[in-house]
Amino acid sequence: MGTSLFDRIARPGREFLGVRYPFICGAMTWVSDPNLVAAVSNAGGFASLAGGNAPVKELESQIEETRRLTEKPFGVNLITIAPAYSSHLNLVSRLKVPVVIFAGSFPRRVEVEKAKAAGSKVLCFASTKSIAKKMLDYGADGLILEGMEAGGHVGHVTLTVLLQQVLFEISDVPVFVAGGIATGKMCAHLFLMGAAGVQMGTRFAVAKESCAHPDFKRAFLRAKARYAVSTPQFDSRLPVVAVRALRNLATDDFKDLQIELIGKMDRGEIGRDEAQEEVERFWMGRLRSAVLEGDTDHGSLMAGQSVGLVSCEMSVREIVDELVSETEQELRRVRNLLSGE
């Protein structure tokens, strides 16, 4: 089956990313290593390394290794609140990475300009129309809308609402969408709505090329959508970014951690910034133990609600091929429906 309709409707995202198919494998700490990123790129999609809290030398090594594994474009996701963020930005600017994605919080104008000056295209996350306009004013070349259905650190607004607030209102730059997506049929309708491309994380987390522990993958494959829950904030004095993950003992441990930290703040033992750093260390450590060691009880199984749509382990190429085929089939169905055939 040809892909004439898909090729036509996906042209903006293809040209922006420089890839065959604008399906993005979202950056996942401990999971998005050079092997997975290169596999997605070589299959015609797009992926980015997760800068996260990685030591600068390690991130540099990952960039160099990815370049050895693929000649295709790829990106680097930078967490603006990470301890080594400034050094990461200096690194990707020096190495001239094709695409830089700012995540975690909002980059400053000068940081966006620095990445662009090095020749990188810049993508920024936006959860509201005002934030989207601010990022564009700073010079972002494109946006990623991520609904709260996604895994990991998430906002409070669903993708359904963000599509109406931002995607339908902004047309001068490519807008990619993410959160709760796992099928080509859904992707087809998102392209029809105006999306330049679609980002997925959970589906690629269980790919054969993913370095995630077999027990981590099995937990995903057995999970239902309702198992992926968002963590609550107990006290406004300790603002925390919600994390969506499969419910397990880590969920309860996080509640206990917040209570403990709030108590320390009340006693003047620590400040709010230090408490928030403790929260981030908790999640990064628990995520590592889940992904690399297979601790599915106390580790953090960060997953989007699309986990309920993932039922088997496939290779990256099989995933991309299926997404392309399903997207084309659905576009043809819609065309025939509208033409009365």
Q: Are residues 120 and 237 in the same domain?
A: no
Q: Is residue 298 part of a domain?
A: no
Token pair of 140 as six digits: 């972002």
- Helix (H) or strand (E) segment spanning residue 200: strand 197-200
Q: Is residue 302 part of a domain?
A: no
Which pLDDT does position 116 carry in this prediction? 97
Find the domain containing 334 and state its range: 4-212+307-339
CATH number of the CATH domain containing 77: 3.20.20.70
Q: Is residue 86 part of a domain?
A: yes
Can you tell me the distance from the alpha carbon of 263 to that of 176, in angstroms, rounded to the nearest whole number? Answer: 41
Assess whether pLDDT exceeds 90 at residue 129: no
At 163, give phi and psi (nearest 5°): -60, -40
- As a whole number, mean pLDDT of residues 14-22 equals 97
User: pLDDT category, 11, cuts 50, 70, 90?
Assistant: very high
Number of domains within the chain: 2
The tens digit of pLDDT for each residue in 235-293 reads 888 888 888 999 999 988 999 999 999 999 999 999 998 998 888 889 889 999 999 99
Q: Are residues 51 and 89 in the same domain?
A: yes
The tens digit of pLDDT for each residue in 184-215 reads 999 999 999 999 999 999 999 999 999 999 99
Assess whether pLDDT exceeds 80 at residue 1: no
More confident residue, 132 or 42: 42
Assess whether pLDDT exceeds 90 at residue 233: no
Can you tell me the distance from the alpha carbon of 71 to that of 58, in angstroms, rounded to the nearest whole number? Answer: 20
How would you classify residue 44: left for phi > 0, otherwise alpha for psi between -120 and 50, otherwise beta?
left
Which pLDDT does position 40 carry in this prediction? 98
Q: Are residues 232 and 204 in the same domain?
A: no
Q: Is residue 299 part of a domain?
A: no
Which pLDDT does position 101 carry in this prediction? 98
Q: Is residue 220 part of a domain?
A: no
Q: Are residues 168 and 46 in the same domain?
A: yes
User: pLDDT category, 297, cuts 50, 70, 90?
Assistant: very high
- As a whole number, mean pLDDT of residues 125-148 equals 93
Q: How big is the chain by its Cα radius of gyration, in Å? A: 20
Q: Are residues 122 and 235 in the same domain?
A: no
State the pairing for strand pair 243-246/152-153. antiparallel
User: Which residue, 114, 119, 78, is CA-closest to 97?
Assistant: 119
Q: Is residue 208 part of a domain?
A: yes
Q: Is residue 181 part of a domain?
A: yes
Which pLDDT does position 104 carry in this prediction? 82
**Amino acid identity at 125:** F
Assess whether pLDDT exceeds 90 at residue 310: yes
The tens digit of pLDDT for each residue in 31-78 reads 999 999 999 999 999 999 999 889 999 999 999 999 999 999 999 999
Q: Are residues 174 and 253 in the same domain?
A: no
Q: Are residues 143 and 268 in the same domain?
A: no
Assess whether pLDDT exceeds 90 at residue 224: yes
Instruction: Return mean pLDDT, the chain.
Output: 94
Can you tell me the distance from the alpha carbon of 124 to that of 141, in angstroms, rounded to the nearest whole number? Answer: 8
The tens digit of pLDDT for each residue in 163-179 reads 999 999 998 899 999 99
- Helix (H) or strand (E) segment spanning residue 197: strand 197-200
Q: Are residues 201 and 257 in the same domain?
A: no
Q: Are residues 70 and 174 in the same domain?
A: yes
Q: Are residues 82 and 208 in the same domain?
A: yes
Assess whether pLDDT exceeds 90 at residue 12: yes
Q: Are residues 240 and 148 in the same domain?
A: no
Assess whether pLDDT exceeds 80 at residue 329: yes
User: Which residue, 71, 82, 63, 97, is CA-closest to 19?
Assistant: 71
Are 291 and 30 in contact, with CB atoms under 8 Å apart? Answer: yes
In terms of C-beta density within 10 A (0-12 exposed, 13-18 middle, 19 or more buried), how is residue 276 classed? middle
Q: Are residues 132 and 12 in the same domain?
A: yes
Q: Is residue 301 part of a domain?
A: no
